[in-house]
Amino acid sequence: VALYKSVPTRLLSRAWGRLNQVELPTWLRKPVYSLYIWTFGVNMKEAAVEDLHHYRNLSEFFRRKLKPQARPVCCLHSVISPSDGKILNFGQVKNCEVEQVKGVTYSLESFLGPRICTEELHFSQAPPGNSFQQQLVTKEGNELYHCVIYLAPGDYHCFHSPTDWRVSHRRHFPGSLMSVNPGVARWIKELFCHNERVVLTGDWKHGFFSLTAVGATNVGSIRIYFDQDLHTNSPRYSKGSYNDFSFISNNNKEGISMRKGEHLGEFNLGSTIVLIFEAPKDFKFHLKAGQKIHFGEALGSL
């Protein structure tokens, strides 16, 4: 593990990112992309543009858009999958710990960082002695839930709003860019806390809601469409540091309102989405660990 952590994954990811931006000759595009499609099982029939010659470089191919009808958004359930991927874990958050894969946990506070100003988020005015988990819950009788979705290299790489909610704050943690493949996640404790990530926090009709995009090897770019100030995988950063940005201002008291299914951001290559949110005790997930899921399909509801 120590040897793997010493690998300069950020430098390699930046190099890979530059390579992905190199325009391929037209004659080379089909064989290169066809090899990728065969290796990772990409379904090009869902792509808005199926012609492989259209994609000038690997980066454009990774970030390909889908046909509008390819991913219908479920209207019956309150929370949908924000992306394509594989369900690694889900359930109630217990003892301020969240599972990244079965049996391997990480600290909720280390992952999200210290509490954000209560003026921006409607946190409960919990006594200071309460646990971090209890401080996030705003309504009596509610619980904190989590869901982890792993995006493989062959998956659709855009992610969308999982519900109707209001984004108040962005916290960017520079960090490592280790692989988040489930096989790797089993033997590196707190992997998601080591890796670079972008935490979006806000609230939905039941209280606290957050979506975190976790970077990984060769995923040096995490893009949030409404956040032009966000720049990921910079050459220099201080270990353990983070920077905050508020979407609440004198001119915008509500932050960024997102509708269920609305485009939110994108990765280059594959990575992980982590949802942590508050909901009543009768909230139920409609999932099985290890199942494949598509953007727009139901995660859970009341």
Query: So which residues are the catalytic ones?
Result: 84, 160, 271
* Backbone phi, psi, residue 183, to 5°: -65, -40
| Sign of the dihedral through C-alpha 206, 142, 300, 183 | positive
Count of C-beta atoms within a 10 Å radius of residue 248: 19
- Sheet strand arrangement including 222-224: 158-160, 263-267, 222-224
Q: Which among 223, 109, 208 has a CA at the least distance from the CA of 168?
A: 208
Take residue 302 and report the two structure tokens written for it: 């009341």
Q: Which among 288, 240, 6, 204 has a CA at the least distance from the CA of 109?
A: 240
Q: What are the DSSP E strand ranges found in the chain?
A: 79-80, 85-92, 97-101, 104-107, 142-150, 158-160, 165-173, 197-204, 207-214, 222-224, 243-246, 256-258, 263-267, 272-280, 284-285, 292-293, 298-301
Q: Which residue has the tokens 């590196």?
A: 188
Dihedral of CA atoms 106, 108, 112, 117 in degrees, nearest 10, equals -160
Q: Cα separations (Å) of 256 from 11, 24, 164, 166, 212?
A: 33, 38, 11, 6, 16
First to last CA, the chain: 41
